[in-house]
Structure 1
Amino acid sequence: MSANRNPILVVGLGRFGGAVAETMERMGHEVLGADTDAALVQSYSSRLTQVVEADCTDIACLERLGAGDFDAAVVGIGDDIEASVLAVLALCDLGVKSIWAKANNERHGRILEKTGAHHVIFPEQKMGERVARLLNENLLDFISFDDSYAIAKLCAPEPIVGLPLVTSECRSKYNVTVIGVKRQGEGFIHADPDTLILPDDLLVVSGKTEDIEAFATI
């Protein structure tokens, strides 16, 4: 395991927390997974290098686990709002510098932020938004960086097909920037003003979320 990867504590090994823990470990991070459910802990014993049965709402328990030495912690507790808040509060009191917490709704999220979470995630909401966007057949993939900015992969809209980018004026007309083009049977092309858009081209574009969504439907 790489010594250069920051250690991560994952509290709560449900679907969300378990997926985070397994993915981070595959990426080479040192991961400690913790949950109060003995059966769940046992199921992850062969999938994670380190996993413990522990009540991470208790600051004394977290101290025994060395939680203060972790660079980041993810609180994936979803069903028990009180437990998720107490876990975040305890991690904050121990001085963990980067605390990510799962929230079930906006109210839960605000409480987590006021308690000390540095990043609040709404996985169900984000997945719902993602599915809604991907139901648009032209919009193939979508990565949102914050509430207003995103990068997306989409089929070239018909109005710009057959035109070089300088002529289609995507930035001035549609407020999106075409970063690159993927053409069947060819490698990725970094876009420039002279790049000609052909039928069946896939575009990688950046811009505000609403502008990308509108661009995909022109």
Structure 2
Amino acid sequence: MIVIRKSGERGHADHGWLNTYHTFSFASYYDPGHMGFRALRVINEDRVRQGQGFPMHPHRDMEIISYVLEGALEHRDSMGNSSVIRPGEVQRMSAGTGITHSEFNHFKDEPVHSLQIWILPDNEGVTPGYEQKFFPDTEKRKNLRLVASWDGRGGSVTINQDANLYAVLLEKGEEVVHPIPASRHAWVQVARGKVLVNDHLLGPGDGAAASDEDRLVISGQETAELLVFDLA
């Protein structure tokens, strides 16, 4: 079964400095029918204006993944990490017992467009941790490139949950197939472009939950970038 979550159905807030869309309930947006999917709790699509951002704020017991589409996101945290996240890079932060961090648009003359993803950990109270890795486009073209996993295999960042996150780039007419083992589930999030997912047309910002399916067949309808979550 495939259940579509259209872009226009998401929660939305425009704070001036931040234009954000929430696939699942977040902050002031609450929808009891969309509290997450399996261990996937948050997908926020954020556009932050030049020189603006989120000041220091706390998190705990959450696996937080940042995926930048355009621009650059400047990160600082209470563990002493300081970095700039650019397109192609994936940052993983395990909040665990508690951290504080800030995220700002690194540039003064252009916005930053990014996805922030929260995944519930399999255990609470883990030691906070941090990783950031670069995955070139060549590894994602017509290929499901593993970028986050529970065991860090294939050079992916490591998360404290039985989940796998893949990134893929497709051109029109290209296709990838993702097998779904029995008892597992999948979520597809389209970052840009259009694709067919098991014959369902998805556009920018659209998502799709897959349960009781044995595979996903994803076909590019135009130049597209998307994320595929494999979930217990």
Indicate the TM-score class for this superposition, using the shorter chain for normalisation: under 0.3
TM-score, normalised relative to structure 2: 0.24
Select the structure of larger CA radius of gyration: 1
Higher strand share: 2
TM-score, normalised to structure 1's length? 0.25
- Larger relative CO (CA 8 A, sep 6+): 1 or 2? 2
More helix by share: 1
